[in-house]
Chains A and B, each alone.
Chain A
Amino acid sequence: MSLIECRKLSRIYNRGAEEIRPLDQLDLRIDAGGFVALMGPSGSGKTTLLNLLAGIDRPTSGELEIGGLSLGDLSRKELADWRSEQVGYVFQLYNLVPVLTAYENVELPLLLHPISSGERHRRVSAALDVVGIADRHSHYPRQLSGGQEQRVAIARAIVTEPTLLLADEPTGDLDRESATAVMELLSRLNKEQGRTVVMVTHDAKTAQYADVLLHLEKGRLIEQEEMAS
């Protein structure tokens, strides 16, 4: 069953007189529970597609449906509410809030949810346990290594139990060992918790963790590759 459907999806920017089309009439389906890697050269539209899937950017034309909901029809506030419930986003540069501890960073998205502080504590602790960083819960981002920061960022992304986990080059800033650990974690979240993962990457080794590789070029899908499990 498909979770994501893009039909003739385009995103156009105007830079002065120049028109830029990072996404051009893209048609795409991603199944629920899948692990998809988006690959392609710089400017191919990978990150633009990821931002559209996250609802942090809007398409210029075409249709984008996620879980049967047309994102183009939602207001800014509705989109924000949808994001807080359905999407977990992992950035390349972790983007943890520097004045908050690991625990508080993970707790942040739960502040939007009407749950008790006890329930919040339970969920944050569980998320930190899943990413294996519970012992560092009181550390600030500056006291953590890059790999540890990315684990905290992943915990923050999964703490609301979203349907869709989006990752923009999650290992791009990590050494090989940390990158492997992060990818195994994402893979485990996909396999064990059934979360749909869409990840942008340049790295072929990282892409091997995915079930499906989508190759983009000039805003179009040029190749779809099923990976052997």
Chain B
Amino acid sequence: MKRIIRTLPFVIKQIIRSPIRTTLTLGGIAIAMFLFSFVESMRDGVTAATTATAEDATLVVYRENRYCPFTSNLPEFYSKKIERIEGVANVVPVQIMVNNCRASLDVVTYRGIPEGDLEKVLEPGWRIEDGDSASWMRRGDAAIVGEALAARRGLSVGDSFTAAGITVFVSGILESEAPQDRNVAYVRLPFLQESMKRGGTGSTVTQFSVRVNDPTTLDVVANAIDETFEHDEFPTSTRSEKAFVGQAAKDIIELVGFASWLGWGALFTVFALVANAIIIAMRDRIRDHAVLQTLGFTGSLIGAMVIIEGALLGLAGGAIGVFAAWLVTRIGRYSMTMEGLNVEISSDPFILVIGITVALALGVLAGIVPAWRVSRLEISQCFRAV
């Protein structure tokens, strides 16, 4: 082991002092690991947005058989009826307006809510990072903007911005653990309804956000709500928020599922790149290996040096690619939005750790076969091969 440590600087010099080979190899690994990490970030975002937990206590009441905020219209007075159902803690009518119906990485979603209901509709763990909710109450066109949306659009308190033909004033930036809250602009319900009158929505809303007292009664309450309106003019479909996102963003989830094949492809590319670089280096260095053996380096020590070289290439290239992907997702704060629901592209630092570990492991794996072959070569064989 001590011998391996003593020869480490020699291995590093071999990598650094072959700049063209190293740059090309690291570039390839970095690009592949960037792709892998980006796909992992998307998968992580989908998981966070759709995986139910025991603490989930929010239901979304939508118009039955409607899948788009433009066609889901429910009378605002339904909230009074829903409030009376056993197990319901509070109900907030929400009007949804998006500036773009297509799948996009930069969709602005407005959520219109009654003046006093801001705190009720937000998921636990939120705080107004900048600005305050009092100014939101005072001003009719005020908006509390989710931090990811604000970062993506470069918005700060006091700015005005226009999306979908609606101009709002930023009165606060919202920090939250819930992806949906981080990516929307909360405006006052009458303001949004008024602004959308051209679309003829009147005093209807898109959905109701219902908080239940006991998370274990989520399904019971959902069924009770749907049964209440079963024979009404506007029947409802009620699901937990995570299930609702999972259903609405099905296309995105399928796309991300397909993209995971790209992630596997990227990993195979990393393996192939490192293995190829090592095999070519071994062929170029066959004389050097004979010399090392003549000097007293054992086959197993030379093999270990080869594996370390693979590991270092994997580690360095992986770190560059993974960190670049993390930086892009961190700065860009992208979210995939469909029908007013957001699936964030995660920038969780844990993806950094996973990516770098995977790249390191692939580097080691790619070095094993060349190392085994080199360690078994006889000196005379090496010299004959030159």
Interface residues of A (CB under 8 A from B): 51, 54, 56-57, 76-77, 80-85, 87, 89, 91, 95, 97-100, 104, 108-109, 111-112, 114, 156
Knowing A80-B296, A84-B295, A97-B291 are in contact, say whether A57-B379 is a contact too (CB < 8 A).
yes
Closest to A48 in B: B380
Question: For residue A120, which residue of chain B has the nearest CB?
Answer: B6
Question: B314 at the A/B interface (Cβ < 8 Å)?
Answer: no
- For chain B, the count of residues having a C-beta within 8 Å of the partner chain is 25
Residues of A within 8 A of B290 (CB): 95
Q: How many angstroms between the C-alpha atoms of A85 and B297 in the bound complex?
A: 11
Q: Indicate if B288 sits at the interface (CB-CB under 8 A).
A: yes
Q: Is B23 an interface residue (CB 8 A)?
A: no
Q: Quick one: which of B292, B296, B379 contacts A85, CB cutoff 8 A? A: B296
Q: Which of the residues B6, B10, B295, B380 comes within 8 Å of A57, measured between beta carbons?
A: B380
| Cα(A109)–Cα(B292), bound, Å | 8
- Do A84 and B296 touch across chains, with their CB atoms under 8 A apart? yes
Cβ-Cβ contact count across A and B, 8 Å cutoff = 64
* Minimum CB–CB distance for A105 against chain B, Å: 9
Bound-state Cα–Cα, A156 to B288, Å: 14
Give Cα A57 to B291, complex, Å.
14
Contact indicator per residue, chain B 100-114, by CB within 8 Å of chain A (1) or not (0): 000000000000000
* B270 shortest CB reach to chain A, Å: 24
Listed from nearest, the 3 A-B pairs whose CB atoms lie closest are A84-B296, A99-B17, A56-B379
| Chain B residues closer than 8 Å to A81, beta-carbon distance | 296, 298
Partner of A109, one of B288, B295, B298, B380: B295
Q: Are the C-beta atoms of B296 and A112 separated by less than 8 Å? A: yes
Given contacts A56-B293, A100-B13, 6 further A-B contacts (CB under 8 A): A89-B295, A91-B291, A95-B290, A104-B10, A109-B295, A156-B295
Is B296 within 8 A of A83, CB to CB? yes
Q: Of B2, B17, B299, B380, which is within 8 A of A51 by CB? A: B380
B71 at the interface (CB under 8 A from A): no
A31 to chain B, nearest CB (A): 24
> Once bound together, how far apart are the Cα atoms of A82 and B291, in whole Å?
15
Q: Are A97 and B296 closer than 8 Å at their CB atoms?
A: no
